[in-house]
């Protein structure tokens, strides 16, 4: 595979293009071209398709899209392109597996295939959602360690304040908050009895490269990761390259997170599916990832659970898992919040679709679109892991049946989803356990999901 210096050379001296022209004259027409060329057609009746030929055509379309479009660096206004031979070599030489965590909490992340009975890697928690205080941050992280036995790695929340002061990106408070979050996170895991558990987004509080690099110096291990994401679509600014340079030099694995937007430049579900494959290649060669995290998301609804997003995620997951050994996660965002039936239905729907389609791992779960402070609990994370383990080995046809049933319970309510309850309202902050009402609700909902076909 070509080296990182070569990537930077191309970011500095590749073909000049304005950002508007890259979007409208380069990216959009090519997406439309490959969708037509490879005869990719969205089928709303089958949100989890079982057509291997379709999956392979989606992969071919995504490969051609990235070969001809490349990535864009908005700071230099240059296009970073790679030849077909370079991309093929990158796929062949991509990481096969990564060890995350330490001691008894060490876990191996590796690829799966559609309908595999291998357990998916469960990266679960807050998905970077915001908490109101350091007290809530510490309580949540300790609860994750003690309440999530199926967790293979943890996704941390982000701090909105420290010492009673608001955290703002680009200020010294951001740097201080990133450092505070890093140290607090590992201490909370120790108190919860799982000190070696990997935290893959420990710098979720940071938005800038300065804060992310600073925070990494205070406890982020080489068995955690640095999460780095490009801009939509296929754009990598210098700040992200700075973070990559730091991670490569330090030996920290890079988790590349990408989110093609349905209703944006990608167009509909077909364009999102092929762009998701293009991001898989970007993660390997341009951003030097050890793993890839993807969450195609709906422009209007701000979540991953609509039917058309489910189809795009499922078919591109099948495309990548059938044609690449590079491990990748699928992240879920629900529209509804904690302690609601809709949140349980959305969680079960998105996780089932991803696991039967062959995702290496799940990341879960962004509750209530991750837009409400303190509006998430360890219960939703535990549910996602339990569903993931329950449906492994299930056929895509059976997964499709369950997904369609679940979609029928909530898809008409996506625009007006219930926000649900805050952490403090359904969880004992001091004892780090759910209130009895939520424990009883969880039991009832799992019985209901079992009747639908999820074999807990």
For 43-79, the pLDDT digits (tens) are 999 999 999 999 999 999 999 999 999 999 999 999 9
Q: Which pLDDT belongs to residue 278?
A: 98
User: So where are the chain's domains?
Assistant: 97-127+222-452
* C-alpha distances out from residue 98 to 101, 108, 253, 290, 327, Å: 10, 6, 8, 7, 8
Q: Which pLDDT belongs to residue 202?
A: 84
Q: Which pLDDT belongs to residue 358?
A: 98
Return the closest-CA partner of residue 130 out of 382, 373, 362: 373
Q: Which long-range contacts (CB under 8 A, 24 or more apart) does 219-222 make?
A: 219/182, 219/183, 219/185, 219/186, 220/182, 220/252, 221/102, 222/250, 222/251, 222/252, 222/253
Task: Report the alpha-carbon distance of residue 248 to residue 183 in Å, rounded.
Answer: 22
- Tell me the mean pLDDT in the region 216-238: 95
- Tell me the mean pLDDT in the region 216-227: 93
Question: What is the pLDDT confidence band of residue 1, given thresholds at 50, 70 and 90?
Answer: very high
Strands 297-298 and 261-262: parallel
Question: What is the pLDDT confidence band of residue 364, given thresholds at 50, 70 and 90?
Answer: confident
Q: DSSP assignment of 65-132, as one string? A: HHHHH-EEETTTTEEE---HHHHHHHHHHS-SEEEES-GGG-EEEE---TT--SPPEEEEE-TT-EES
CA angle in degrees (0–180, nearest 5) for 302-308-314: 100
Q: Which helix H or strand E contains 324, and what residues bound it? A: none
For residue 233, whether the previous peptide bond is cis, meaning omega lies within 30 degrees of 0, is yes
Would the pLDDT of 116 be above 90?
yes
C-beta separation of 83 from 281 below 8 A = no
Q: Name, in order, each residue with C-beta under 8 angstroms of 329's C-beta and a sequence gap of 6 or more.
A: 121, 123, 255, 291, 292, 293, 294, 359, 360, 361, 362, 363
For 338-349, the pLDDT digits (tens) are 999 999 999 999
- Tell me the mean pLDDT in the region 367-389: 97
For residue 365, whether the previous peptide bond is cis, meaning omega lies within 30 degrees of 0, is yes
How buried is 447 (Cβ within 10 angstroms: 0-12 exposed, 13-18 middle, 19+ buried)? Answer: exposed
- Tell me the mean pLDDT in the region 37-41: 98
For 12-28, the pLDDT digits (tens) are 999 999 999 999 999 99
How buried is 83 (Cβ within 10 angstroms: 0-12 exposed, 13-18 middle, 19+ buried)? Answer: exposed
CATH H superfamily, domain 97-127+222-452: Monomethylamine methyltransferase MtmB (3.20.20.460)
For 280-326, the pLDDT digits (tens) are 999 999 999 999 999 999 999 999 999 999 999 999 999 999 999 99
Question: What is the pLDDT confidence band of residue 32, given thresholds at 50, 70 and 90?
Answer: very high
C-beta separation of 125 from 155 below 8 A = yes
Phi, psi of 27 (to 5 degrees): -70, -55
C-beta separation of 390 from 443 below 8 A = no
C-beta separation of 151 from 381 below 8 A = yes
Question: What is the pLDDT confidence band of residue 435, given thresholds at 50, 70 and 90?
Answer: very high
- Tell me the mean pLDDT in the region 409-419: 98
Strands 254-258 and 291-294: parallel
Question: What is the pLDDT confidence band of residue 236, given thresholds at 50, 70 and 90?
Answer: very high
Q: Number of helices (H) and strands (E), helices first, in the chain? A: 16, 20
Would the pLDDT of 219 be above 90?
no
């Amino acid at each position: 595979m070509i080296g990182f210096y070569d990537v930077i050379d191309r970011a500095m001296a590749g073909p000049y293009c304005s950002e508007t022209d890259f979007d409208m004259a380069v990216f959009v027409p090519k997406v439309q071209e490959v969708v037509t060329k490879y005869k990719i057609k969205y089928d709303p009746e089958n949100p989890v398709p079982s057509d291997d030929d379709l999956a392979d055509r989606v992969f071919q379309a995504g490969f051609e899209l990235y070969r001809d479009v490349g990535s864009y660096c908005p700071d230099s206004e240059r296009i970073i392109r790679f030849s077909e031979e370079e991309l093929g070599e990158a796929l062949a030489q991509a990481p096969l597996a990564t060890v995350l965590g330490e001691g008894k909490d060490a876990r191996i992340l590796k690829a799966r295939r559609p309908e595999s009975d291998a357990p998916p890697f469960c990266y679960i928690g807050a998905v970077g959602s915001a908490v109101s205080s350091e007290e809530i941050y510490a309580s949540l992280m300790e609860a994750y360690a003690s309440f999530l036995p199926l967790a293979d790695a943890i996704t941390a929340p982000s701090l909105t304040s420290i010492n009673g002061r608001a955290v703002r990106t680009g200020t010294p408070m951001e740097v201080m908050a990133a450092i505070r979050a890093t140290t607090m996170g590992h201490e909370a895991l120790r108190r919860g009895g799982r000190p070696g558990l990997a935290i893959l987004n420990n710098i979720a509080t940071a938005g800038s490269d300065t804060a992310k690099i600073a925070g990494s110096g205070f406890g982020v291990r080489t068995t955690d990761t640095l999460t780095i994401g490009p801009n939509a679509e296929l754009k990598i600014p210098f700040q992200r390259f700075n973070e990559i340079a730091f991670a490569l030099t330090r030996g920290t694995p890079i988790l590349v997170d990408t989110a093609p937007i349905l209703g944006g430049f990608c167009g509909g579900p077909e364009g999102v599916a092929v762009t998701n494959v293009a991001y898989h290649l970007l993660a390997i060669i341009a951003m030097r990832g050890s793993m890839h995290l993807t969450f195609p998301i709906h422009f209007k609804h701000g979540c991953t659970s609509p039917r058309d997003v489910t189809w795009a995620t499922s078919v591109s997951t099948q495309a990548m898992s059938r044609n690449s050994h590079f491990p990748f996660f699928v992240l879920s965002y629900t529209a509804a919040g904690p302690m609601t039936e809709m949140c349980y239905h959305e969680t079960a729907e998105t996780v089932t679709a991803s696991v039967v389609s062959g995702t290496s791992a799940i990341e879960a779960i962004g509750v209530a679109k991750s837009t409400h402070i303190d509006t998430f609990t360890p219960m939703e994370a535990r549910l996602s892991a339990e569903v993931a383990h329950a449906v492994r080995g299930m056929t895509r046809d059976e997964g499709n049946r369950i997904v369609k049933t679940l979609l029928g319970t909530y898809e008409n309510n996506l625009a007006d989803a219930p926000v649900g309850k805050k952490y403090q309202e359904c969880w004992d902050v001091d004892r780090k356990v759910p209130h009895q009402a939520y424990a009883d609700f969880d039991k009832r909902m799992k019985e209901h999901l079992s009747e639908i076909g999820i074999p807990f």
